[in-house]
Amino acid sequence: MDALKSSSAQGLSEAEVQKRQQQFGPNELIEKGGKHPLRLLWEQVSSVMVLILIAAAVVSALLGQVTEAVAIGAIVVLFVILGFVQEYRAEKAMAALKKLAVPLVRVRRAGQLVELSAQELVPGDIILLEAGNAIPADARVVESANLRVQEAALTGESEAVEKQTAVIPKPDLPLGDRLNMLYLGTNVTYGRGTAVITATGMNTELGKIATLIQGVQDDPTPLQKQLDSVGRILALAGIAVAVLVLIIGVVAGESLEEMFLTAVSVAVAVVPEGLPAVVTITLALGAQRMLRRSALIRKLPAVETLGSVTVICSDKTGTLTINRMTVTVIDVAGHFLELAGTDEQAPAYLKLADTPDDLFTNRPPAIGLTLAAGA
């Protein structure tokens, strides 16, 4: 309370509220430059395989092969539409987070109990909560009468957590262990309580998640890399064959104009027009099958990778953190093998926790057998 310069009995004054609103801004999740639909559409059109098909359709039309041109165009449209729909749904992840915001909240300001929009909250505000209320921002519990909060949206824990007012000496505990804190996006299921706002908007834990979502860089999947590679190889092969046909024809005394049209027709014939459509339809069917098994796929190319997964390692809540589960300790026959240096920058290495002996020159047999089995 002292750090936030607030009082549980009086709350903040109107002058202080205005000052903090200017300092911290509105209590809302800000969508930072999501991909425009036109950009999503361009990303679908600009893939190597689609560009080759578009070129093939144009050449076919110029050569008078209208039926083939229309067929290739239809395949391109189908490929682009299916990919665009999946990407557009992925961009709606931020909107799903915004739905967790709450419209109204009871606040104590200048000694008076008022009902305000959650967007008007600032750090230091005193809020009153009861069963059924959604938490409007991150807050520290000041008073608790059997206050229990459902935090599944953040921690994955299915059971409601009973909150307390006692000071927790360890500052860096996981969210689920911070029993005196409340977080935006969670809900009160039982009891009542009073809390002081500690963070609003994008500074909340939910806001940090929103920031991470907006900053995700999408790497191409193995399937996308393979399709691009196939597209480049086919393009080069088509050009090479067309040039070879043109040269042979001209050397044999054929008309240059006639051989040019023949070479172009051969280059178009090399392109597998049905490949993108077959791949897209196959992935769409795979996505539907995985959905029936409760696996929701936002991006079609991910189906190929996820479809190969046989084991997912996660904690009991099913929560994944940095997309990589890391072994930290191996306990074999009373010997502890630690994996040290597991941060993002330094390379990891193995060491024996119960002896200073070098792992590779004097290791227990049980450790050696375990490492061999896992290799």
pLDDT in tens, 278-308: 777 777 777 778 777 777 676 677 777 777 7
Which has the closest alpha carbon to 298: 29, 79, 87?
87
Angstrom distances, CA of residue 1 to CA of 10, 39, 142, 195, 366? 12, 47, 9, 10, 55
Instruction: Round to whole Å and give the CA distance between 60 and 54.
Output: 10
Q: Which are the catalytic amino acids?
A: 315
Would you state the pLDDT for residue 283?
Answer: 77
pLDDT reading at 340 higher than 70:
no
Would you state the pLDDT for residue 189?
Answer: 93
Which has the closest alpha carbon to 276: 256, 303, 301, 258?
301
Burial group, residue 151, by CB count within 10 angstroms (0-12, 13-18, 19+): buried
Q: Where in the chain is the domain with CATH 2.70.150.10?
A: 14-22+102-212
Would you state the pLDDT for residue 182?
Answer: 93
Of 208 and 350, more confident: 208
Would you state the pLDDT for residue 273?
Answer: 64
- pLDDT above 70 covers a percentage of the chain that reads 77
Instruction: Round to whole Å and give the CA distance between 95 and 79.
Output: 26
pLDDT tens track for 56-111: 788 778 877 788 788 878 878 877 887 777 667 656 655 565 555 557 889 999 88
Segment among 87-101, 209-223, 320-334 with least mean pLDDT: 87-101
pLDDT reading at 207 higher than 70:
yes
Of 266 and 321, more confident: 266
Mean pLDDT estimate for the chain? 78
Would you state the pLDDT for residue 82?
Answer: 72
- pLDDT-derived band at 32, boundaries 50, 70, 90: low
Q: pTM higher than 0.75 for the full model? A: no
CATH architecture of 14-22+102-212: Distorted Sandwich (2.70)
